[in-house]
Amino acid sequence: MPRNPVEANTGHRLTAKKRFLDQEGRWGLLLTSPYLIHFLVFVLGTLLTSLYFSLSNYDMLNPPEWVGLKNYDRLVHDPVFWKALWNTLYFVILFVPTQTFLALILAVALNQKLKGLKLFRMAHFVPVISSWTVILYVTDAVFNPRFGMANTLLTQLGLDPQKWLQDEVLVIPILVLIAVWKGVGYIMLIFLAGLQNVPQDLYEAAELDGAGVIKRFRYITLPMISGSTFLVLILSTISTFQAFEQIYVMTGGAADATAAGGPNNASLVLMLYLYREGFSFLHMGYASAIAWVLFVILFVLTWIQVRLQKRWVHYE
């Protein structure tokens, strides 16, 4: 047994390794240092500053003046804030389930071996990769109150033409419709990835047992992709709560920021209200308070969803 040489050898390697570890440690810290700066300045720093602003009056010209909870108190009594909160909720409640449901149907349809699949899939990505400005002018052909296709169709059916995005009642449903049209292709893709992980023999076994299409969908597909569904719901709820670009672009924010939010604030969502207060009226303190309320809502929502997840998400 050549014990000694081995021991000597191991000992030598250990010290070499230790020295390398020091070097490795230095390199590790050096290579990750950009993110440390990112975190300290743009995440932690901004979070603390934002919290401080929300407790101050700040117009960017004079130094912030501490006012305690006054901004939050004002928020609670501000009818425009409540309207914006309601509009946001209304948007999320209409949008998230519709998009998720349609994306799932499309994914199931696209998951079969069909001819021309790639082309069909690409068709669904064109709205996804378009900016909201492009979407604005593309959908104008449909929803323009003067000469859009939607009104032409209505008049041909003998119905009254509508003002669509300029209509207080219709503005949010139409925005949701357009948002679903734009986003459904992307969510479909996430479901498609989930579907491709479902073992095919499960379906074959169920088919042999005489389970029909609907039963197979209900008892195999849905539980097997519940992980993807959960992620889609969480991610799209969080991002929809922060919706800004679509509403800014499509309801007049571009022309006049102070007027953003559609007729009678009918499509004023929280992000737009934040933008308007902060960047149009320079009420940075008040806008920061709106941001924190939004943050807390998102935090609570995520927490609830994670708790509920245990009840219905199936993990292998």
Question: Which residues within the stretch 156-185 sit at the binding site for other proteins (CB under 8 A)?
Answer: 156, 181, 185
DSSP-assigned beta bridge partners for residue 292: none
From 286, 264, 226, 269, select the one nearest 64 (Cα to Cα): 286
Binding mask 67-106 for other proteins (x = CB under 8 A): --------------------------------------xx
Residue 125 binds other proteins (CB under 8 A)? yes
Q: How far apart are CA 206 and CA 1, in angstroms?
A: 61
Q: Is 184 helix (H, G, I), strand (E, B) or coil?
A: helix
Residue 212 binds other proteins (CB under 8 A)? no
From 181, 177, 196, 182, select the one nearest 108 (Cα to Cα): 196
Asked whether 251 and 171 are in contact (CB, 8 A), the reply is yes
Nearer to other proteins, 141 or 169 (CB): 141
CB of 258 to other proteins, least distance (A): 13
Q: Cα angle vertex 125, ends 262, 108, to 5°?
A: 105
CB of 126 to other proteins, least distance (A): 6
DSSP-assigned beta bridge partners for residue 57: 65
Which of 4, 62, 131, 258 is the binder for other proteins (CB under 8 A)?
131
The DSSP 8-state label assigned to residue 257 in this structure reads G
Nearer to other proteins, 172 or 178 (CB): 178
Segment contacting other proteins by CB under 8 A, of 71-79, 88-96, 216-224, 225-233: 225-233
| Structure-token pair, residue 154 | 């209505």
Q: How far apart are CA 72 and CA 210, in angstroms?
A: 60
Which of 23, 62, 200, 258 is the binder for other proteins (CB under 8 A)?
23
Q: How far apart are CA 297 and CA 303, in angstroms?
A: 10
Which of 7, 8, 13, 152 is the binder for other proteins (CB under 8 A)?
152
Nearer to other proteins, 6 or 29 (CB): 29
Which of 87, 88, 100, 139 is the binder for other proteins (CB under 8 A)?
139
Nearer to other proteins, 70 or 121 (CB): 121
Nearer to other proteins, 70 or 124 (CB): 124
Q: Cα angle vertex 167, ends 161, 171, to 5°?
A: 115
Q: Is 66 helix (H, G, I), strand (E, B) or coil?
A: strand
Across the chain, the runs of DSSP E, i.e. the strands, are 56-57, 65-66
Which of 14, 35, 76, 306 is the binder for other proteins (CB under 8 A)?
35
Which of 7, 24, 73, 204 is the binder for other proteins (CB under 8 A)?
24
CB of 281 to other proteins, least distance (A): 13
Residue 27 binds other proteins (CB under 8 A)? yes
